[in-house]
Structure 1
Amino acid sequence: MLKLFSKNFWHVTARLILRNKIGILIVILGTTIFFSTQWDKMRMSYTEANLLPDDHEATIVYDHFLKIFGEEGNIIVLGVKDSSLYSVEKLNAWNRLSDSFKKDPEVEAVISLKDLQKLEKDTKDEKFVLEPFITDSLASEAQINKLEDELFNQYPFYDNFLFNKKTKTLRSIIYLKKDIVNTEVRKDFVLNKLSPKIDAFQQKYNLDVHVSGMPYIRTLNSKSIVDEIGFFVAAALLVTSFIFFFFFRSMRATLVSLVVVCIGVMWTLGIIGLLNYEITVLTALIPPLIIVIGIPNCIFLINKYQHEVKKHGNKIKSLQRVITKIGNATLMTNVTTASGFATFIITQSKLLKEFGVVASLSILSIFVLCILVIPIIYSFLPLPKDRHLEHLNRRWIGGFVDWMERMVRHKRITIYSIALVLLIASMIGMYQIKVSGSLIDDMPQKTEFYKDIQFFEKEFNGIMPLEVMVDTKRKKGVMKLSTLKRMDELEELIDETPQLSKPISVVDLVKYSKQAYYNGNPKFYQLPTSYENSFILSYAKNSTSDVNLLKNFVDSTGQYARITTFMKDIGTDKMERIEENLQQKITKLFPKNRYNVVLTGKALVFQKGTKYLIKNLVLSLSLAIFLIALFMAYMFRSFRMIVISLIPNLLPLLVTAGLMGYLGVPLKPSTILVFSIAFGISVDDTIHFLAKYRQELQQNHWKIKTSVYGALRETGVSMFYTSIVLFFGFSVFTISSFGGTVALGALVSITLLFAMLSNLLLLPSLLLSLERSIANKEVLREPSINIIPDEDDEEEDEDDNSEKLS
C-alpha cells in the first residue's frame, strides 16, 4: 500500500510541477522576497553563547553572581610596552588619550596613570584622604623618575594593576557602563570611537598600543564572523560551480545550479532573521553549507535528466522521470542529512539548538527548491546538445568505476585488511584526543586583537575573568578580620598559580589602608592585627566615599565579596586542575556552616559548557545513528542490511576521531559538529547504493554478484561526483581565520572522502561476502518505499503522462 502511495505521489507531484510552472515560480519569487525582508532582523552576537542549559548549576551560580555584582566583562584595557613612552611629551599624551574616553557616554570610568592616587592619613580629622600622584601634567624628566620610583617600589597596591614593574609595561583601564556591554552600543563605541582615537595616537607618537578586554574581543570577533559570511558564500559558489562545470562542461547546467543554491542561501538568511536568531560562529557556516549540500542535489537531478535525454530524447518524459525516479531518493537523502543536523536540537545548548534548527530547515528548503526549480527551468530550455552529454561517456570515469569493480571482485581481503588497520589505528588515536574549553581558542589567530590577547597574557597573565564569590551569610560579614584573613590566604594560592593574574579584592584595600596609616611605608602593606583593626577601621569610617577604591568588590549589604583574577588561555585539563586546587583550599579555609564560596566567571562557564557538549555529542550522534537505522529498517525490512549499511559509515567517523588525536585537534564546540554532520551526509551514498542494489536484485532474479556490480556501475559516477563536490566544498572552510572553522572544514572533508571510498569498496565487499545470508527474499523483504522506482512499472504511465503534458 505504501509503495503504491509513494509511486502515485511522485507521479502526481511531477504532473503538478510541470503543469503549474508559472504559478510555482511566482510562489518561489514571493517566498524569496518575503525572506529577504527578514534579513534586517539578523543580529550580531554580543555575548559568548552559553553552552550550558539555564538550569545547570554553573549557569545558576553565574547568574546569581551577575545579579549581585553586575556584568563582569565590562573592562577594556590599553597597554604600551615601549621605553620611549616615559618621556614628558609621550606620557602626557598617553594621559590625555585616557582622559578623552571619560567624555564618552558609554564609559562609566577610566583609570590611567594620571588617575592613580595615594591613600594618606589625615591625623587632624582622623580619616584617610586621597592625593593624586600627578596634580596636572608632567613637566620634567625628574618628575617622571620620581613617579616611577613611587609606583614601582613604594605602592604594591597598584603593582600588576596598571603596570608591570619588571617590564615597565603601562596600561589604562576603561570601564564601560554595564547596561550597554551586551548591546549594539558597545559595537559603535569600539569601532567608531575607541579604534579611531587609538589609531590616531599610534600614528602621531609612533607607539604600538595594544587593546584587549572582553567587550573589545567580543566586538571584533563578531565583526570577523559577519565579514566571513559573504567571503565563504562567494568562495563556496566559486569552488562548487567550477567543479560542477568541470564535470558537466555545460555553462547552462552550472548557471541553473547556481540560481538554485543562491535562492537557498537567501532563504537560509531569511530563516535566521525570521526566527530572530543571532549570527554566531556556527550559524555563519550555514549559508555556505547550503551551497555545498545543494550542489550534489543538482548533480543527481541534472545527471538523471541528461541520462534520460540521451536514452530517448523526449524532454517532458525526461523531466517527469527526474521527479518520479530521483525525487524520492533525493528526499530521503536530504531527510537523513537534515536529521544529522536536527539532533543538535536536543542538546539543550542554545548555540547548537539554533544551529540545528536553521540547518535542518535550510536543507529541507534546498531540496524543495531543487525538485521544483530545476525541472521547471529545463522545461523552458531546449534539449541539451551532444557536447553537453559527452561527460556521460568519459573514459577516466569509466576507468574509475572499473578500478572499483576490480577491487571489489578480486581484492576484498585487501579492503578488509586496510579497514581493520584503520580501525585499530583510529582506536589508538581516539585515546589521545584532548578537550578544549577555551573562550579564545576558536578566534582568528592572525588578527591584531588575538596578538594583543597574547601580549596581555605575557605581561599581566591574561584577560579572561575568573571570579570567586564569598557569601558570609550575614550582613557586614565581609569586613570581619577572620573573613579577610581567609580571603587573603586564598589570594596567596591564586597569586602563586602561574596561569592566573594577581587577584584583586577588598583585602587589597584593607592592606593599603594599613600602609597609609603607617605613613605609606610599604613594609606595612598587610592585613592589620586585631589590635590595629579597630583604629584603622575608625579612620576608614570617617573617610569620604571616594576613598572606597574597590567598592565594586563588596555588595551594598557587606554580605558578599568577590575576588577577581584573570586567567591565561589554557587547556581544559589545566583549568580543571586549577579549579580542583582552588576548591580544596576553599573547603579548607571556609567552613560551610559559615560561608558559601563558589568559583564562577565567563571563562569557567564556557569550559564547563564544552564538557557538557561533549557528553551531548554521544547522545546526538547515537540519536542520528538510531534514526537512520530506523529509516533503513523501514526501507529495507532487514536487520542484517541495517548492520551492513552502518559499518561503512561508522568507520570514517572513527578514522576522523583517530586523526584528531594524532594531529592534536581538540574536541571543542566547533569540532564536535563534525561527527553528526559527516554521518548525516555520508549515509546518503549508502542509501543511493542500496536502493539501486535492491532494484538490481529484483531485475536479476536475486543474483547477488550481478546486482552488486550493476549497482556499483550505476551509482559509482554520481557518488564520485557528489563526494568530490562535498570534499572541495567543505575544504572552503579551511581558508577561514577561525581555527575551529578550519578544523571543521578539514575534518568533514576527510571524513566524506573516506565515506565515499568506504561506500564504494567496503559496502559492496560486505554484500558479496555475506551473499548467502542476504540472498533470499525472506532476509531482504520487499521495501516499504521504493526509493528508485522500477523501470517497467512506470514506463507505460510515463508515456501517457508525457503525451498529456506535451
Structure 2
Amino acid sequence: MTWKKLADFILKNRLAVLVVVILGCLFMGYHASKVRITFNGGKVLPVTDSAYIRYNQFKKLFGQDATTMVMGFQSPKIFDKDVYNDWHKIANDIKATKGINGVISVGNVFDVVKDTIQHKYVLKPLSPALITTDKGADSVKQKFLSLPFYKGLVLSEDGRSTLMAISFDGKIINTPKRVPILKAILKAGQQFEQKHNIQVHYSGLPLIRTVAGDLIKNEFVLFLGLSLLITISILVLIFRSFYAVFFPVVVVLLGVTCSLGTLVLMHYEITILTGIMPSLVVIIGIPNSIFILNKYYYEYNHTGNKMQALHTTIAKAGVTTFVANITTAIGFGVLCFTNSELLVQFGMVASASVMVTFILSIILVPIIFSYLPNPKERQSKIKDRPVIQGLLNKLDYVVHNHRKAIYGVTVVLILVCIFGITLINVNSYVVDDLPKSNNTVKDLRFFEANFKGVLPLEVSIDTKRKNGVMNNAVIRKVERLEKLISSKPEFSRSLSLTQGLKFLTQSFYGGNPNYYRLPSGLEQGFILSYAGNSGKSNDMLKTYLDSNRQYTRVTFEMVDIGSKKMNIVLKDLQPGIDSIFNPKKYHVELTGSSIIFIKGANYMVKNLYESLALAILLIAGVMWVLFRGIKMIAISLLPNLIPLVITAGLMGFFGIPLKPSSILIFSIAMGISSDQTIYFITRYRQELRSTNKSISAIVSDTIRETGISMIYIAIILFFGFGVFAASTFGGTQAIGILISITLFVSMISNLTLLPAFLLSMEKRTAKSESRKSQ
C-alpha cells in the first residue's frame, strides 16, 4: 500500500517533485565542484589501533616521517669535475627552495671538524665551492671516502651509484604545494640527464604518492567516460530509442553529481577507492532504469494506458529495485565497520550514492516518461525479441529437464575452486597498485638494488627514564640493535645517535677513519662536552633524541618486499630485539610509514573477512524479511555465494594475491549479485500469490519475464566493471575483472541454479503431501 501511495504522490505532484529534485541536484553540484584529489596515503589503520597511536606518538617526538624524496644515478663519473659540479648545483638550488628542509648528496655533505680553541665542533662543507680542476675533484673524492658516516648513505657500497636525499617540510608534504616543487626537481634532474647522458632515477613516498594522485585524476575522467560509453551502447541495443537512452544517462549523471557532492559534504577527498565512485554510480545506477523501463513497457503493452503503466511500475518495480539497492548498499556499507578511514570513506559514500541514485531513478524516470510520447511498438515488444526469447527458452528447458546436471556441474566447480582457494597468496606491496612498467616502480628497484630501498623504517627506543639514552651501556645496546637489523638484506645501514657519536669520535681524533667508532666511557664525556657547544653541529644528535633524552630513534630504509615476507622478517627480528633490550626495562617499537602500511594491510585483510561475513548476514536478514523461512534464505543466498567461491578459486589458480584492494571484491559482488536473486524471487512470489499456476509454470514465466532484465543488467555490469581492467592500478584492475566475472557467473547461477532449487523444493513438497495423504 505504501508504494501505491508513493506512486500516487509522485505522479500527481510530478512538476513540484521534479523542481525539488533539480534544486537538490544543483545544490550537490555546487559542492561537487569543490572536490579534490588526496595528497596523502590515506589512513588505513583505525585511530584507536595501538600501532597507529604509537606511530603518532613517535611523530610528536621526532616529527613527520616519509618526507624524503630521493634522486640518484649510477656512473663511474660521480666525482668527475663537471658531473660533480652540476650535481652540487642542483642540490644547492633545491635546498634554497621554499618548502625544502634539507638536501644531502655527495656534492654538499659536511665534515665535522674539532675546534680546540672554542672547545666545539664545526660543520665544514666538503666542497664549499665548485671544483675547478681534476686534481681538486680527486681531492674531494678522497676526503669523501675517508668519512664512513656517508658510506651506503649517499654513495653505494660499491661506489658506483649515488643519491640525493631531499627532505620536504612536514607542513606542505600532504598539500598541493608539494607538486610544483616536485616538478622543479624532476626538471632539474632531466636537464642533468640530457647534459651528461646519465639516467637519473627518482623515488620516495612523496613522489610515489604524487604519481598515484596523478593517475587517480586521469583515471577518474577515463573511467567515467568509458562507463558512460558502455552503458549508452548497451541501452541503444536494448531499447533502440533516444529517450530510453538519453534520460537514464541523465539520471545517473545526476547520481554522479550527488556522489561527488556527498564526498565534499563529508569532508573527504578523492582516493584510489573513492576515485572510482562516479563510474560505479553509472554502472550500478543504469540497471535501475533498465528494470523500471522494462516494467513500464511490459505494463503498457498489457494496458495501453501510459499513466496507469507508470503507476504500476512505481508500485511494483519500486519495491523490487528498492530492496535490490539495499543489498547493494549493504555490500558497500559493511566497509564502514572496518574502522579503517580509507574503507569507511569509500563505504559511506558508495552506499549513500547507491541509494540516492535509486531515489533519483524511481522518481525521475516515471516523471520524465509521463511527459514523453507513448512507447512505440518496438519498445513494448522488447521481451518478444527472438534472440533473447530463444536463450530464455533454452534456459527454461535446461532447468526443467537437467537439474541433476546443474547440481553436478556446480558441485564439481565448487570442489575444484576450493582447491584453488588453498593456492591464494595473501600479500601486499607499497607500490602494489602502480603499473610494473611505470618509471616510478622501475626507479624504486634501482634504489633497492643499490641502497637497499627508500621506504622508511623507524625504531623508537624508550629507556623509561630521563637521560636514559646517554648511558654508555644503552648506547652499546643501540649499536647492537642496528647491527642486528642491518644484517637483514631487506634493510639499509642505519642513521642514528650512535652513527653521529662515531662521526664525532672520528672528528675528535683529527678525522682519522680508524676512529669511526663509539667513544669509550671516558671519551664520551669529552666528546659530548664539545657537542654541547657546537650549535648546528649538535643537531646531528638532537635529531635522534627527545628533549628529555629518554627516547631515541634509529632510522633505516627498507626494500618493498611485500607484507607476507615482511611479517616473517619482523617476527624473526623480535626475539633478537628482546635479547638486546629487556622488554621489562625498555620499550622498543618498530614503526614508521612502511610498518603502518604493513600493519594496515594485515588489518584490512583480517577485517574484510569479517565485512564479508557481515554482508552475508545482513543480506540474509533482508531475505528473511522478504521471503521468510530458512529454506528460502538458503535458496536465495547459495546462488550468490557459489560465484564468490568460484572467483576466489580463480584468484588462486591465476596467482592473483589476496590484498586489501582484491578482497573488497567479495562484499561488493555479494551485494550487487543479490539484486538478481531479489528480481527473480520477488517476481516468483508475486505470481505464486496472485495465480493458481504450478510452481513449474511460475518458474517458467519468471525466467521469461524477469530473465530479460537480469540478462541486460548482467551485460551492463559485466562490461561496466570490465572497464576497470584499463586501469594502471593493479588493485583497480583486479576489482574490475574479478567483479565482472563474479557477476556474470552470478547471473548464470540465478537463472539456472536458483530456479532449479525452486523446482526441487516443489518436488519435495509434492512428495511430502503425497505421503500425508496416504
| TM bucket, shorter chain | over 0.9
Q: Is the 8 A contact 1:438 1:571 kept in 2?
A: yes
2:24 is aligned to: 31
| Separation (CA, whole Å) in 1 of partners of 2:75 and 2:157 | 13
Residue identity in the other structure for 2:175 = T
Matched, 1:646 2:637: yes
Report the Cα offset of residue 361 of structure 1. Answer: 0.9
1:185 is aligned to: 177
| Separation (CA, whole Å) in 2 of partners of 1:28 and 1:453 | 50
| Separation (CA, whole Å) in 1 of partners of 2:95 and 2:717 | 52
Residue identity in the other structure for 1:146 = S
Report the Cα offset of residue 776 of structure 1. Answer: 11
Count of residues in correspondence between the two structures: 769
1:175 is aligned to: 167
1:420 to 376, 387, 411: 411
| Separation (CA, whole Å) in 2 of partners of 1:651 and 1:367 | 27
Matched residue SS, 2:590: strand
| Separation (CA, whole Å) in 1 of partners of 2:391 and 2:143 | 78
| Separation (CA, whole Å) in 1 of partners of 2:250 and 2:119 | 80
2:311 to 316, 320, 337: 320
2:227 is aligned to: 236
Matched, 1:442 2:433: yes
1:284 is aligned to: 275
Report the Cα offset of residue 54 of structure 1. Answer: 1.5
1:576 is aligned to: 567
2:477 to 477, 486, 497: 486
Matched residue SS, 1:44: coil
Matched, 1:116 2:103: no
2:376 is aligned to: 385
Higher mean Cα deviation, 141-150 or 254-263? 141-150
Report the Cα offset of residue 184 of structure 1. Answer: 3.0
1:298 is aligned to: 289
1:766 to 734, 751, 757: 757
| Separation (CA, whole Å) in 2 of partners of 1:484 and 1:241 | 68
TM-score, scaled relative to structure 1 = 0.91
Matched, 1:596 2:587: yes
| Separation (CA, whole Å) in 1 of partners of 2:681 and 2:768 | 15
| Separation (CA, whole Å) in 2 of partners of 1:354 and 1:756 | 29
Q: 1:389 to 1:455 in 2, by over 3 A?
A: farther
Q: Is the 8 A contact 1:462 1:567 kept in 2?
A: yes
| Separation (CA, whole Å) in 2 of partners of 1:186 and 1:592 | 40
2:3 is aligned to: 10
Higher mean Cα deviation, 313-322 or 641-650? 313-322
1:140 is aligned to: 133
2:85 is aligned to: 92
1:4-403 maps to which residues of 2 (within 5 A)?
8-84=1-77, 86-122=79-115, 127-152=120-145, 154-166=146-158, 168-191=160-183, 193-389=184-380, 391-403=382-394
Residue identity in the other structure for 2:646 = V
1:665-680 maps to which residues of 2 (within 5 A)?
665-680=656-671
Report the Cα offset of residue 155 of structure 1. Answer: 2.1
| Cα RMSD after superposing both structures | 2.2
Q: Is the 8 A contact 2:32 2:258 kept in 1?
A: no
| Separation (CA, whole Å) in 2 of partners of 1:281 and 1:118 | 44
| Separation (CA, whole Å) in 1 of partners of 2:189 and 2:656 | 36
| Separation (CA, whole Å) in 2 of partners of 1:416 and 1:730 | 28
1:498 is aligned to: 489
| Separation (CA, whole Å) in 1 of partners of 2:464 and 2:756 | 69
Residue identity in the other structure for 2:251 = V
| Separation (CA, whole Å) in 1 of partners of 2:137 and 2:241 | 74
| Separation (CA, whole Å) in 1 of partners of 2:14 and 2:535 | 80
Higher mean Cα deviation, 404-413 or 691-700? 691-700
1:563 is aligned to: 554
Q: Is the 8 A contact 1:702 1:775 kept in 2?
A: no
Q: Is the 8 A contact 2:383 2:708 kept in 1?
A: no
2:463 to 469, 472, 479: 472
Report the Cα offset of residue 700 of structure 1. Answer: 4.8
| Separation (CA, whole Å) in 2 of partners of 1:361 and 1:572 | 32
1:635 is aligned to: 626
| Separation (CA, whole Å) in 2 of partners of 1:773 and 1:348 | 45
Q: 1:700 to 1:381 in 2, by over 3 A?
A: closer
Q: Is the 8 A contact 2:228 2:282 kept in 1?
A: yes
Instruction: Give unpaired runs (5+ residues) of structure 2.
Output: 770-774
Deviations 1:294-334 (A, max 9, x none): 11111111112222333343222222222122111111111
Q: Is the 8 A contact 2:430 2:562 kept in 1?
A: no
Q: 1:480 to 1:521 in 2, by over 3 A?
A: same
Deviations 1:687-731 (A, max 9, x none): 111112223333553622222222222211111110111011001
Q: Is the 8 A contact 2:414 2:642 kept in 1?
A: yes
Give the percent of matched residue pairs that are identical in Structure 1 and Structure 2: 40
| Separation (CA, whole Å) in 2 of partners of 1:592 and 1:315 | 78
Q: Is the 8 A contact 1:445 1:738 kept in 2?
A: no
Matched residue SS, 1:163: coil
Q: 1:11 to 1:541 in 2, by over 3 A?
A: closer
1:524 to 493, 515, 526: 515
1:788 is aligned to: none
Residue identity in the other structure for 1:701 = N
Deviations 1:541-591 (A, max 9, x none): 454442543531122222211111111111222111211122211110012
Higher mean Cα deviation, 591-600 or 61-70? 591-600
Deviations 1:64-100 (A, max 9, x none): 1011001011112121223455432232122111111
Higher mean Cα deviation, 386-395 or 215-224? 386-395
| Separation (CA, whole Å) in 2 of partners of 1:32 and 1:205 | 56
TM-score, scaled relative to structure 2 = 0.95
Q: Is the 8 A contact 1:703 1:775 kept in 2?
A: no
Report the Cα offset of residue 246 of structure 1. Answer: 1.8
Q: Is the 8 A contact 1:692 1:711 kept in 2?
A: yes
Q: 1:86 to 1:251 in 2, by over 3 A?
A: farther
Q: Is the 8 A contact 1:445 1:737 kept in 2?
A: no
| Separation (CA, whole Å) in 2 of partners of 1:541 and 1:327 | 77
Q: Is the 8 A contact 1:470 1:598 kept in 2?
A: yes
Report the Cα offset of residue 149 of structure 1. Answer: 3.6
Higher mean Cα deviation, 243-252 or 502-511? 243-252
1:753-792 maps to which residues of 2 (within 5 A)?
753-774=744-765
Q: Is the 8 A contact 2:84 2:107 kept in 1?
A: no
Report the Cα offset of residue 593 of structure 1. Answer: 3.8
Deviations 1:201-229 (A, max 9, x none): 44444443222222222222223212221
1:689-768 maps to which residues of 2 (within 5 A)?
689-701=680-692, 703-768=694-759
1:796 is aligned to: none
Matched, 1:618 2:609: yes
Report the Cα offset of residue 188 of structure 1. Answer: 4.1
